[in-house]
Chains A and B, each alone.
Chain A
Amino acid sequence: MAEMKVNLCGIELDNPIIPASGTFGFGYEFAEVYDINLLGTFSFKGTTKDPRFGNPTPRIAECSMGMINAVGLQNPGVEKVISEELPKLAKCFNKKVMANVSGFAIEDYAYTCEKLDACDQVGWLEVNVSCPNVHGGGMSFGTSPEAAASVTRAVKKVTTKPVIIKLSPNVTDIVSIAKACEEAGADGISLINTLLGMRIDLKTRKPVIANKMGGFSGSAIFPVAVRMVYQVANAVKIPVVGMGGVSSAEDVIEMMLAGATAVEVGAANLINPYACRDIINDLPRVMEKYRINSLSEIIGGVQ
C-alpha cells in the first residue's frame, strides 16, 4: 500500500502534490474538469495589497521544453481575494489552501499576510520574495539575504500560520538566502521561482514579450531546480517545497530525494489541465517500481 501522506510545517497533506501559484488561478478552472480535493493542496494566484492588471501583452513566449511568462502578478488585491475568491473556492475545495503573497515594500507583505492570517481556509503563507523592492532601487527582495530576512521577520510578526519563503533562483548563492530566512523565523522554504529569460522574434527583431524579459519555467528548468533544492535542503533544517519543471511522478520522486517535503507543479498544469491529477494517480505505480512504501521516508534520501 503506497503511503503518500507528508507533513508540511505541521499540516498533513494527503499527498505532496501542490499546483504552483500562477498556474492554477483560484482553482475553479480546474474544478470544472476534476475534483481538486484530490490534491495535497494548491498555492493560489500571487496576491498583493492592491489590485494589479499586470504587464502589457504579449506576456507569453514559447521555448524548447518550456515557456517564458511576464504576467506581472495580475490579481484582484487581497480584499477581493478574501471577500470574493475564497468564498467561491470554499464551494469546490475543502482543504487548507496555500496563500501566495507578493509585495513591493516590506509593509505591503505584512499588510497582505495579516489579512490572510485571519482566513481559516488558509493553511500556509507562501511569500514570494522575487518581486522588486520599490524602496530598494528595484532590486528583488530575494537577491539579498538581508532583504529576504527582513520580509520574513515582518511577515512572522503578523501571523501564526506557517510561513514558507519562496526563493528566486536568479542569485549567486541561494543557500545564504535560505539560511537567512530560516534564521529570521521562516517555517519553510519553497524553490525555485522562474529563471529570468528572454526571446527575440527574428522577423521583427523585437523581444517576443512586451516586458522584454520574463520568467522561464517548464521541463527545461527541472535539473536546475533539483540542484538548488538539494543545496538548500542540505543547508537548512526547515522543510523545503521543491518546484521547477516537475511534470511526472518520477520528477516528484526525484525532487523528494533531493530534499523536498512537498512538490509544486507549475507550467505542466497549463499544458495539461489534468497534470496534477495524472501525477497523483501515477505515483503508486512509480513508488512500487522503486520499492517506496512511504513518500515521507524518501525525503532527502539521495545517497
Chain B
Amino acid sequence: MKQGFYTVTENMALTSSVYRMKLAGDVTGVACGQFINILLDGYYLRRPISVCDVIDTDSEKAIVILYKVVGKGTEKMATLPTGTTLDVLTQLGNGYDTSCSGEAPLLLGGGVGVPPLYMLAKKLIAEGKQVRVILGFNTKEEVFYEEEFKALGADVTVTTVDGSYGTKGFVTTVMADKPYTYFYTCGPEPMLRAIYNASTTSGQFSFEERMGCGFGACMGCSCKTITGYKRICKEGPVLVKGEILWQK
C-alpha cells in the first residue's frame, strides 16, 4: 500500500456509462490486476477501482482506470474536471501472476471486468505469449477497448448477449473454440462461475466485493476459500481456480 496525490489529466466517456480516467503521479510498484482506492470529496469511504494500465514514459507517468457510473460516487467521479487532485491509495491487492500462463493464455473479460485484463495482456505479450482475448458485453453500445486490445497484438473476439455486435452469446459461448494453456478472467460473478465450470485448465479469477478500507484492516471483504479465509482486498482480488469455494 502506498498513498499518493494524483492529478486527473483525462476523464472521458468511452460509452454512455463507462469512463476512462488518467491519474498523473507516482506509478512505481503498480502491478496488473491490482486496484487503487480513491478518496472523493463528500464521500466517506474510498472507491476501489481496478488498474487498467500504467503509463510510464519520460514525458508521462499515470495510472489509467476505466470505471462505470453505477452510484453517486462514480457519478461524482464522472464530473471531475482535469486538473483535479485526488488522494489515492495504490499497490492494493495481489494482482495477476503471469508466471503460470503457459504459451497461449486466454483472457476473458465481462463488462466493467474488462479493464484489468488490458494491463495483463500488455504484460503477457511483452513476455512473448500468444494472447487471446474474449470481451463480453450486453449490447453493441456497451462495447469498449476492442481496438486497444487489438493494438497490443492480441487476438480479440467480442461477444454480445443480444447479438448486436460480434458473436451472439456469452464469453463462454466462444471459449470452447479457443485453444489455451491457462486463463485469466474478471467480470460479474455469474460469468466467473460459468467460466469455472467450462474451463479445461487452471486459471485466475478476479473478484469484487464491497470494501471498507481496501488494505486488509477491517475484514469487510473476507471470503472462504479452500486454503482458508482470504480478504478480497489483500490476499485477493485474484484467486486461483483450485482455491475457490462458491457460496450458496
Q: A29-B215, A33-B3, A273-B1 are in contact. Are A59 and B220 (CB under 8 A)?
A: yes
Q: Decide if B212 is an interface residue (CB 8 Å cutoff).
A: yes
Besides A59-B219, A271-B44, 6 more A-B contacts (Cβ < 8 Å) are A25-B219, A29-B217, A54-B219, A60-B211, A65-B44, A74-B229
- A71 near B220 (CB under 8 angstroms)? yes
Contact in complex: A64, B44 (CB < 8 Å): yes
A141 in contact (CB, < 8 A): no
B224 at the A interface (CB under 8 A):
yes
Smallest Cβ-Cβ distance to B73: which chain A residue: A62
Interface size on B, residues (CB 8 A): 27
Hey, which chain A residues are within 8 Å of B217, CB to CB?
A: 23-25, 29-30, 269-270, 273
Interface residues of chain A, those whose CB is within 8 Å of chain B, are 22-25, 29-30, 32-33, 45, 53-54, 56-67, 69, 71, 74, 208, 218-219, 267, 269-274
**Do residues A22 and B44 form an inter-chain contact, with CB atoms below 8 A?**
no
With A33-B1, A54-B222 known to touch, is A273 a contact of B44 (CB < 8 Å)? no
Q: What's the nearest-Cβ distance from chain B to residue A286, in Å?
A: 22
Do B216 and A29 touch across chains, with their CB atoms under 8 A apart? Answer: yes
Nearest neighbor of B214 in chain A, beta-carbon distance: A270
Kindly identify which residue among A45, A63, A67, A273 contacts B215, using a CB–CB cutoff of 8 Å: A273
A22-B218 CB under 8 A given contacts A60-B211, A62-B44, A66-B44: yes
- For the complex, what is the distance from the CA of A106 to the CA of B213, rounded to whole Å? 32
Known: A22-B219, A66-B44, A69-B218. A269 touches B224 (CB 8 A): no
In chain B, positions 43-100 with a C-beta closer than 8 Å to chain A are: 43-46, 89
Chain B positions within 8 Å of A208 at CB level: 210
Interchain CA distance A133-B39 in the complex, whole Å: 38
12 A-B contacts (beta carbon < 8 Å): A29-B1, A57-B220, A57-B221, A60-B218, A62-B43, A62-B45, A219-B44, A267-B44, A271-B44, A271-B213, A273-B1, A273-B213
Least distance between A121 CB and chain B CB atoms (Å): 20
How far is the CB of A271 from the nearest CB of chain B, in Å? 7
**Residues in chain B within 8 A of chain A (CB atoms):** 1-3, 39, 43-46, 89, 209-213, 215-224, 229, 234, 247
A274 closest partner in B (C-beta): B3
Cβ-neighbour of B219 out of A66, A74, A274 (below 8 A): A74
Question: Smallest CB-CB separation from A66: which chain B residue?
Answer: B44
What's the minimum C-beta distance from A31 to chain B, rounded to whole angstroms? Answer: 11
Shortest distance between the CB of A262 and any CB in chain B (Å):
20
Residue of A nearest to B232 (CB): A57
Residues of B within 8 A of A58 (CB): 209-210
Q: Which residues of A contact B46 (CB under 8 A)?
A: 271
CB-nearest residue of chain B relative to A52?
B229
Bound CA–CA A190/B221 (angstroms): 27
Most buried by B among A25, A33, A219: A25
Cα of A162 to Cα of B211 in the assembled complex, Å: 34
User: In the docked arrangement, what's the CA distance between A33 and B90, Å?
Assistant: 12
Alpha-carbon distance between A203 and B242 when the two chains are bound, in angstroms:
34
Interchain CA distance A219-B216 in the complex, whole Å: 21
List, in ascending order, chain A residues with CB within 8 A of B223's CB.
Answer: 57
Bound: A219/B45 CA distance, A: 12
| Smallest Cβ-Cβ distance to A220: which chain B residue | B44
Report the minimum CB–CB distance from A146 to chain B (whole Å): 32
Determine the residue in chain B with the shortest Cβ distance to A70: B220
For the complex, give the distance between the alpha carbons of A21 and B215 in Å: 16
On whether A67 and B3 interact (CB within 8 A), knowing A25-B217, A53-B222, A269-B217, the answer reads: no
From residue A206, how far is it (CB to closest CB) to chain B in Å? 13
Set of chain B residues within 8 Å of A269, measured between Cβ atoms: 213, 217
* Partner among B39, B212, B224, B247 whose Cβ is within 8 Å of the Cβ of A67: B212
Instruction: Determine the residue in chain B with the shortest Cβ distance to A45.
Output: B219
- Expressed in whole angstroms, the minimum distance between the Cβ of B51 and any Cβ of chain A is 19
Which residue of chain B lies nearest to A26 when distances are taken between CB atoms in the complex? B217
A69 near B220 with CB under 8 A, answer: yes
Complex contact B1–A32 (CB within 8 A): yes
* Most chain A beta-carbon contacts within 10 A, residue among B1, B3, B210, B223: B210
B213 and A218 contacting across the interface, CB-CB below 8 Å: no
For the complex, give the distance between the alpha carbons of A69 and B44 in Å.
Answer: 13
Complex: chain A residue closest to B247, CB-CB: A56
Task: Give chain B nearest CB distance to A193 CB in angstroms.
Answer: 15
Report chain A residues within 8 Å CB of B39. 271-272
Q: How far does the alpha carbon of A66 sit from the alpha carbon of B45 in the complex, in Å?
A: 8
CB contact under 8 A between A270 and B212, given known A29-B1, A62-B43: yes
Of A25, A53, A67, A74, which is within 8 A of B216 by CB? A25
- Which residues of A lie under 8 Å from residue B211 when comparing CB positions? 60
Most buried by B among A59, A65, A218: A59
Chain B residues contacting A65 (CB-CB under 8 Å) are: 44
| A67 adjacent to B210 (CB under 8 Å) | no
Evaluate contact between B219 and A71: CB separation under 8 angstroms. yes
Verify B212–A69 contact, CB threshold 8 A. Answer: yes
| Bound complex: CA A57 to CA B3 (Å) | 27
With A and B bound together, what is the CA distance between A74 and B1 in angstroms? Answer: 22
